[in-house]
């Protein structure tokens, strides 16, 4: 285990200047060492993820570990190019100059990760921070303790603590870390805690990347293939038992299609996660993380049905296994907690709409979501929804998959977050883009030096040029 946070932070502050001069070859070597260490810990990670969330090993491999191998490999392939100074265009004020943008590490960075994808959401920003040449302190979630312990051992085996260090513990550890004047803070979690992180960062004017959440809607148009649509939504909603920040939160659908969609969704949920029956297959269906969240989800069902929602399927709760079966609720009241809070569980509300204008208005009445999903074969309809709404990202005729492409920026907007991550965008999040002007040739700026009384012609010229 590392020493106290202040000691490690001071050590990293002293080391960051040396690390900032590291070459692409040196950073790539660290990324390869991280990949090799993860490979040696892979089975321990699967066992920990099963203990914390009852994740099936195949699901854990695809959504957590292999995802990170992809991030590392992408960074290794492209890092030399990312680090090269980038050319910038000239302006009339420096027409003879050479303009470049250099990427400089931000320094000592703090990464705070959540419990729902405990390995992926800690390691993904770490890969970017290492690629950018930073020192890093990691704080995994205490709600996934088995995975946190394995990751702490992994980091200790892979890095000297003056470069990368992992601190386990509860909210008190996070609070202690947030008192330190980091150069950058990367936080993934709830909007409420994101505000606390941003407030703490403001004290030292640290930059922040906030990956938050929100109610990510699905809009189904009349042109959609309902059976295929339902299967994709069932997978995206029910993987990790709905505990995914970009899971489809609620569905907006034309009134006459609602019950047909519900039937297809039930069939898909049973085929994918229930071995063809109504009861979840516990070998492939994750558990709710803890008793508090289990009770919260049960209360959402109770409140929604009391306010008129029709629970047409599922929602059976098993406290001893922290399992809630896939549920679908039709016509929920927009005032119910189910439609006001991010669900973060296997409950799918389905809201009918009369026309597209109404559907868009329902989306825009809420905070900007982290993701928006559109199912439509009508290109004009798709363009209209993209134009008239705002969200972190969009998938058309699919769910979740936009997060898997490291060539795309991933991030929220408004209450769903700020800043982007993955690939080059993650590298830039942990870098300062530094403008450098190499001046040469005639000193044209002398035209604006004093004395000014004979320079009126210069103002006229500048007005024309600018």
Catalytic residues: 211, 245
- Residue 95 backbone dihedrals phi, psi, to 5 degrees: -65, -25
Number of residues that this document lists for the chain: 466
| Cβ neighbourhood burial of 366 (10 Å; 0-12, 13-18, 19+) | middle
Q: CA dihedral defined by 402, 405, 409, 414, rounded to 10 degrees? A: 30
Q: How far apart are CA 130 and CA 72, in angstroms?
A: 10
Q: How far apart are CA 412 and CA 187, in angstroms?
A: 12
- Residue 241 backbone dihedrals phi, psi, to 5 degrees: 55, 35
Cβ count near 403 (within 10 Å): 21
DSSP of 28-40: HHHHHHHHHHHHH
Please list, in sequence order, all residues whose beta carbon lies within 8 angstroms of the beta carbon of residue 308, skipping any fewer than 6 positions away: 331, 332, 333
Cα distances from 211 to residues 72, 82, 258, 380, 420, in angstroms, run: 20, 23, 32, 31, 8
| Strand, coil or helix: 110 | strand
Cβ count near 54 (within 10 Å): 21
Cis peptide before 23 (omega within 30 of 0): no
């Amino acid at each position: 285990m590392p020493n106290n946070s202040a000691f490690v932070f001071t050590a990293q502050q002293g080391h960051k200047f040396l690390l900032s001069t590291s070459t692409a070859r040196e950073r790539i070597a660290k990324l390869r060492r991280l990949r090799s260490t993860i490979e040696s810990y892979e089975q321990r990670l699967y066992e920990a993820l099963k203990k914390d969330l009852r994740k099936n090993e195949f699901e854990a491999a695809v959504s957590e570990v292999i995802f990170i191998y992809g991030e590392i490999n992408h960074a290794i392939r492209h890092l030399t190019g990312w680090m090269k100074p980038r050319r910038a265009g000239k302006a009339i004020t420096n027409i003879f100059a050479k303009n470049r943008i250099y990427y400089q590490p931000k320094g000592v960075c703090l990464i705070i990760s959540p419990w729902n994808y405990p390995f992926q959401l800690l390691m993904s920003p770490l890969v970017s921070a290492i690629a950018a040449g930073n020192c890093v302190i990691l704080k995994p979630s205490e709600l996934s303790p088995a995975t946190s312990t394995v990751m702490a051992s992994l980091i200790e085996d892979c890095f000297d603590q003056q470069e990368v260090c992992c601190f386990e513990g509860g909210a008190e550890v996070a609070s202690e870390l947030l008192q330190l004047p980091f150069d950058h803070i990367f936080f993934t979690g709830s909007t409420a805690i994101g505000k606390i992180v941003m407030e703490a960062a403001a004290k030292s004017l640290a930059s922040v990347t906030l990956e938050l959440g929100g109610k990510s809607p699905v809009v189904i148009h009349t042109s959609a293939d309902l059976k295929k649509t339902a299967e994709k939504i069932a997978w995206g909603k029910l993987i990790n038992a709905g505990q995914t920040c970009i899971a489809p939160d609620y569905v907006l659908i034309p009134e006459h299609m609602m019950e047909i969609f519900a039937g297809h969704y039930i069939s898909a949920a049973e085929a994918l996660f229930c071995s063809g029956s109504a009861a979840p297959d516990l070998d492939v269906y994750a558990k709710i993380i803890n008793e508090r969240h289990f009770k919260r989800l049960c209360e959402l069902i109770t409140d929604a049905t009391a306010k008129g929602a029709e629970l047409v399927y599922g929602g059976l709760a098993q406290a001893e296994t922290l399992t809630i079966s896939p549920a679908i609720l039709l016509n929920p009241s927009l005032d119910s907690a189910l439609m006001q809070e991010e669900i973060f569980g296997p409950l799918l509300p389905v809201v009918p709409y009369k026309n597209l204008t109404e559907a868009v208005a329902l989306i825009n009445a809420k905070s900007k979501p982290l993701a928006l999903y559109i199912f439509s074969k009508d290109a004009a309809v798709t363009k209209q929804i993209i134009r008239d709404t705002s969200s972190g990202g969009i998938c058309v005729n699919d769910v979740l998959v936009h997060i898997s492409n490291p060539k795309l920026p991933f991030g929220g907007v408004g209450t769903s977050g700020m800043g982007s991550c993955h690939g080059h965008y993650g590298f830039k999040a942990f870098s300062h883009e530094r403008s450098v002007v190499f001046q040469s040739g005639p000193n044209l700026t002398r035209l604006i030096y004093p004395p000014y009384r004979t320079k009126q012609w210069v103002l006229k010229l500048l007005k024309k040029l600018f």
